Amino acid sequence: MHEISIAESIIQIAEAKACEQNARSIQVIKLRLGTFTTIVAESLQFAFEIARQRTLARDARLEIEIVPMVVRCVVCEESTQPLHGVCLICEECGFPLEIVSGEELQIEYIEVDSDKEKLPWSQYQNEFQSRPTS
Amino acid sequence: MESVPERISVQTNVLNANQQTALANRERFANEGMLVMNLMSAPGAGKTTLLEATIKAMQGKFRLAVIEGDLQTDLDAQRIQALGVRAYQITTGTTCHLDARMVARALDAFPVNDLDLLVIENVGNLICPASFDLGESLRVVVCSVAEGPEKPKKYPVMFNKANVVLINKIDLAEISGVDLNELRANVREVNPHATIFALSSRTGEGMPAWTNWLQQAVATHTSAAMVK
């Protein structure tokens, strides 16, 4: 269940970016996830719901764009999407195929609430104190 | 008070932090001039027995040490130490893989200078360890014939990332009803570039081809490091 570690990393990266921009909270995290990774989108959503608690992303939605695996023959340059299993040998000429896409695990953007400057100081403090100390 | 949603571009790989630490580990290993092998397999494929047999073939010729990764117990480290080789056990608790930070922390407690070869035996798992670069220069995946011929097809990411695939327990091929050629072909399908050795660490069959290859790799690596 390494999706938990992945979800924590996603939140760490998103929080760092949100803090840079003085954002109050994160609403959306947009992720591109390839099908040739070891990450399962459904498990990641579940892990994200646990990992987001007590963070700036506690109300955030994780939007996952699935990137299909595309392979290309280095010789005949034919690109294909393997649909049933993965075979990295070209059916036409027997040469190795290279992976064009499908290995993505990339945060594209976040959407944040940027009204922080309007918040009263007491709410800043609450925000700060509600964070875990670890 | 209306909140104003604002989109901020991030464009960052989720594993970025691990990759940065792996990069630092790799630099540290390069400075020390040692070859670092990340040894991975499913639980029960015979990683530790294979490692014991590999160590016996290399002992006296190269300076080596082992970092063991397991959820619980230091049984594997004890087995390596019994051969007179330095070993350090990382127990991950519940984490199903080693990551670069765990290795970096281990290196602080377990000095690895004056080595030719450092083997990191990962947690037995064919899924998660594939995603976490530790800073190694050689990725070895072991699969035993007793697991059936389809493991590479079922866990393509892990096999795709390997430099070397060791097909272990070939002494059990007949009794398991597994065709070695089919298993080899299945490895090729997901990794046309891998170097494949079929062997049995229990009977020793096929071991010399692998250990000779590894000795060559270590010798080439350390001499290249000396030139630098």
Residues A60-97 have pLDDT tens digits of 999 999 999 999 998 888 898 987 789 999 988 889 99
Residue B3 near chain A (CB below 8 Å) = yes
Chain A interface mutation, best of B14, B15, B155, B159, highest count of A Cβ atoms under 10 Å: B14
Rounded to 5 degrees, φ, ψ at B175 are: -70, -25
Residue B109 near chain A (CB below 8 Å) = no
Inter-chain CB proximity B127 and A2 less than 8 Å:
yes
Residue range B18-33: average pLDDT?
95
Nearest CA in chain B to A24: B3
B206 pLDDT tier (thresholds 50, 70, 90): very high
Q: How far is CA A87 from CA A56, A71, B188, in A?
A: 42, 9, 8
Is the pLDDT assigned to residue A122 strictly greater than 80? no
In CATH, the architecture of B17-215 is 3-Layer(aba) Sandwich (3.40)
Please tell me the pTM assigned to this model: 0.89
Residue range B123-144: average pLDDT?
95
Residues of A whose CB is below 8 A from B95: 2, 5
Residue extents of the structural domains in chain A: 3-69+102-129
Q: What is the pLDDT of residue B108?
A: 93
Residues of B whose CB is below 8 A from A18: 8
Is the pLDDT assigned to residue B215 strictly greater than 90? yes
Residues of A whose CB is below 8 A from B153: 85-86
Nearest to B114 by CA among B69, B166, B65, B67: B65
Please state, in angstroms and rounded to a whole number, the distance separating the CA atoms of residues B56 and B47. Answer: 14
Residue A43 near chain B (CB below 8 Å) = no
Q: What is the pLDDT of residue B5?
A: 84
Considering Cα of B66, then B76, then B98, then B44, what sign does the dihedral take? positive
Contact between B45 and B167 under an 8 Å Cβ cutoff? The reply is no
Q: What is the pLDDT of residue A83?
A: 77
Q: ipTM for the complex?
A: 0.85
Q: What is the pLDDT of residue B90?
A: 95
The CATH fold assigned to A3-69+102-129 is hypothetical protein PF0899 fold (3.30.2320)
Residue range B12-18: average pLDDT?
95
Please state, in angstroms and rounded to a whole number, the distance separating the CA atoms of residues A53 and B181. Answer: 50
Please state, in angstroms and rounded to a whole number, the distance separating the CA atoms of residues A56 and A40. Answer: 24
* pLDDT digit string, tens, across residues B53-71: 999 999 999 999 999 999 9
Inter-chain CB proximity B4 and A36 less than 8 Å:
no
Residue A115 near chain B (CB below 8 Å) = yes
Is the pLDDT assigned to residue A130 strictly greater than 70? no
Q: What is the pLDDT of residue A134?
A: 44
Is the pLDDT assigned to residue A113 strictly greater than 70? yes
**Mean pLDDT, chain A, whole residue set:** 88
**Mean pLDDT, chain B, whole residue set:** 94
Q: Are strands B64-70 and A97-101 parallel, antiparallel or unpaired?
A: unpaired
Nearest CA in chain B to A28: B7
Q: What is the pLDDT of residue A119?
A: 54
B14 vs A6, A36, A113: nearest CB: A6
Q: What is the pLDDT of residue B2?
A: 58
Q: What is the pLDDT of residue A129?
A: 56
Is the pLDDT assigned to residue B1 strictly greater than 60? no
* pLDDT digit string, tens, across residues B97-122: 999 999 999 999 998 888 999 999 99
Residue A61 near chain B (CB below 8 Å) = no
Nearest CA in chain A to B191: A88
What does the DSSP 8-state code read for residue A121?
Answer: H
Residue A41 near chain B (CB below 8 Å) = no
* Number of A–B residue contacts, CB under 8 Å: 114
Least confident window among A73-77, A126-130, B39-43, B80-84:
A126-130
Q: What is the pLDDT of residue A117?
A: 56
- Amino acid at the residue B54: T
Residues of A whose CB is below 8 A from B19: none
Q: What is the pLDDT of residue B94?
A: 83
Give the percent of chain B with pLDDT over 90: 90
- Amino acid at the residue A35: T
Beta carbons within 10 angstroms of residue B167's beta carbon: 27
